[in-house]
Amino acid sequence: MVGRELRRRAGRSVLTVAAVAVAATLLTALVTIAGTAQTRVLSEVSTGGPLAGIKVAAAAPDPSQVDQDNARPGPPKPLDDAALARIRSLRDVDAAYPVLSVPVVVLAPVRVPAAPAVPVPGSSPPTSPGSPGAANGAVPTGGAATAAPAPAEPPAVGGGPAGPYGDSLVGVPLADAGRLPLTLLAGRLPAAGSQTEVDATPDFLDRLHIPQKSAAALVGMTVEMGFPRGFGRGAFRARWIHPTIVGVVAQDAGSGQMVGSLELAAVGRDWTAAGGQDAATRFGLQPTTYTGVFVVADRLDRVTTVRTRITAVGYATQAPEQLIASVRRYVRVVEIVLGGIGLIALVVAALGIANALFAAVRERRREIGVLKAIGARDRDVQRIFLLEALTVGAIGGVIGAAAGAGVAALVGLAVNRYLAAQGVAQLRLEISVVVLAVAVIGSAALAGVAGVVPARRAARLPAREAVAGG
């Protein structure tokens, strides 16, 4: 009966449904976009890692820094498997992943794309004796990864220097990369445990003067990379490897321009450490099993507690918790404002429903009277009009939720096109089922509320309307 009534007044029904649909579209799209923006901003803040992530350094805590996001660590302190196990066993710790940064000597990629090398004046690599850059003369030390670089500089990618320079390789457990602060910008992550694949970082791109939007150009190239070892009296040699750059990642797990497997970093650590005192004094290798641990707390609101517990264990921590809290506050305000705009649209649509129902009540006075004459109670009549309002609201809500998701997807496409042009990681639009459900149920509920007064008016019409003017 309700459906047929709506069809009978098709023009008005379509317009009323359209008003609700537009409002629901606005609400869905705005809330979805706001939610995605929040996720993206927080992801930027946490460099793609979990928001409840905590960086633990192989250093004692500095008592004056414990309450700060970027707390300055105290004196170095070895971080071994026992310490890792202890951190893992702390309450409210969901997971703890070891990180190992080791010194490396790097040459620019040797498999060069079409762009010719353009050396930039004043940016030549360090080559003074005793520095990691003085890699010429390195000797093979066994295995496949021991080739020395050719005496002649290889052609380099981009406009950066091609000569060797000292930096670090960040080794992480790649099997758990999804829970680490890594954001893939191009290509892919190295295979777990791989000793032949690495990812470059935006810092590496900067060094080569390659814009981020051209990051993909690096993928597939081979980089010359050596783990240095001191041999006394200022001499050092490097164990050279030729890993393939399989991707470009932004990362906040440790300090370094290259990211690889924990196993590869361990090889480097062991090689460099075998040089004795030089390892620490010349190459900055810490005498520790791991240079850091990335801890994930159970929940964001447990981060402070977990940091306190780790501090009690004796290690310095960093976590952007205050920044995240601040960002969340601001983004929540934006969400509320956008949601409010959508809600206002829905309220306007609800007024449209009420208006349409008032008109229907006026037009159907006799029909209402007839219904009462054949025995309908006031609440039966009220139910009919409320059902009409709910139906209009639900149909509008369903259409609006679908359209809102579509609009959000289109906006996401446009934003991603822009981000791609900027060489920044793209958005992953998160269309929440909850938002869609709220749009549909909210539209129906608001329509129901809007229908209450007209429905009551219909219910209160006297039954004698059936014979009025008859």
Under 8 Å between Cβ of 187 and 247: yes
CA nearest to 211, candidates 158, 155, 164: 158
Whole-number minimum distance, CB 379 to another protein, in Å?
9
Does 7 help bind another protein (rule: CB under 8 A)? Answer: yes
Whole-number minimum distance, CB 383 to another protein, in Å?
12
Q: Which of 205-213, 275-283, 368-376, 407-415 is the region at the interface with another protein (rule: CB under 8 A)?
A: 368-376
For another protein, give the closer residue by CB, 259 or 356. Answer: 356
Whole-number minimum distance, CB 461 to another protein, in Å?
11
Q: How far apart are CA 158 and CA 205, in angstroms?
A: 9
Whole-number minimum distance, CB 356 to another protein, in Å?
16
Does 362 help bind another protein (rule: CB under 8 A)? Answer: no
For another protein, give the closer residue by CB, 77 or 383. Answer: 383
Handedness of CA 459, 460, 461, 463 (dihedral sign): positive
For another protein, give the closer residue by CB, 335 or 367. Answer: 367
Under 8 Å between Cβ of 19 and 392: no
Site string for another protein, 8-37 (x = CB under 8 A): x-----------------------------
For another protein, give the closer residue by CB, 95 or 373. Answer: 373
- List 10, 114, 152, 374, residue binding another protein (CB under 8 A): 374
Under 8 Å between Cβ of 218 and 202: no
The backbone torsions φ and ψ at residue 202, rounded to the nearest 5 degrees and listed phi first, read: -55, -30
Q: Which of 210-218, 226-234, 343-351, 369-377 is the region at the interface with another protein (rule: CB under 8 A)?
A: 369-377
**Angle at alpha carbon of residue 168, lines to 167 and 174, rounded to 5°:** 150
What the block records as the tokens of 50 is 């979990």
For another protein, give the closer residue by CB, 81 or 380. Answer: 380
Does 387 help bind another protein (rule: CB under 8 A)? Answer: no
- Helix, strand, or coil here: 113? coil
By CB under 8 A, what part of segment 433-462 binds another protein?
A: 462
- Helix, strand, or coil here: 253? coil
- List 300, 409, 411, 463, residue binding another protein (CB under 8 A): 463
CA distances from 103 to 65, 128, 167, 270 (A): 27, 17, 6, 11
Site string for another protein, 99-138 (x = CB under 8 A): ----------------------------------------
CA distances from 243 to 107, 169, 205, 219, 264 (A): 11, 12, 17, 11, 10
For another protein, give the closer residue by CB, 303 or 371. Answer: 371
Q: How far apart are CA 390 and CA 132, in angstroms?
A: 74
Interface residues with another protein (CB under 8 A) are 1, 4-5, 7-8, 366-367, 369-378, 380, 462-464, 466-467, 470
